[in-house]
Amino acid sequence: MYKSRLLNSKIIKILSIMGHTDQIAISDAGLPIPKNVERIDLALAFGVPSFIQVFESVSESIQIEKVILAEEILEHNPEIHKKILEQIRQVEKSQKNKIDITYITHEMLKIQTNECKAVIRTGECSPYANIILQSGVIF
């Protein structure tokens, strides 16, 4: 039997096919998802599941070399930003490598989702709670 904290089969499938530099996004409930990108919709109700819950589970199941955030999160959602940075530090310890953090405009982040293998939509209803994870290699 598969042995990991992550149980969603669609997310596991996407993560298993990702190669070096491939990207996956985790979004709040409002981020527009491009038609050409797979949508994994986990949203059940306002705030359920939360962005942080999904980010923690996914980030423990993928080798991350880079994350992309909207620069607007710094001013408009500092609490989520703080939690993201805390989780990144935890992942860096377990992966034993530094994760590059890049900030771009929210508009650019929306455009970048076109390059993602999938966008995982959460029930998060706070502003700019979106992240793109870029896959690294385990060797």
Q: In whole angstroms, what is the distance from residue 107 CA to residue 116 CA? A: 15
76 annotated to a ligand binding site: no
103 annotated to a ligand binding site: no
Q: Collapsing DSSP states into helix, strand and coil, what is residue 55? A: helix
2 annotated to a ligand binding site: no
81 is catalytic: no
129 annotated to a ligand binding site: yes
13, 20, 39, 98: the active-site residue = 20
106 annotated to a ligand binding site: yes
Can you tell me which residue has the tokens 């310890």?
Answer: 93
Centre a 10 Å sphere on the Cβ of residue 126 and count the other Cβ atoms it contains.
Answer: 16
Q: In whole angstroms, what is the distance from residue 103 CA to residue 74 CA? A: 9
Bind-site residues for substrate: 28, 106, 128-130
Bind-site residues: 28, 106, 128-130
The residues carrying an active-site annotation are 20
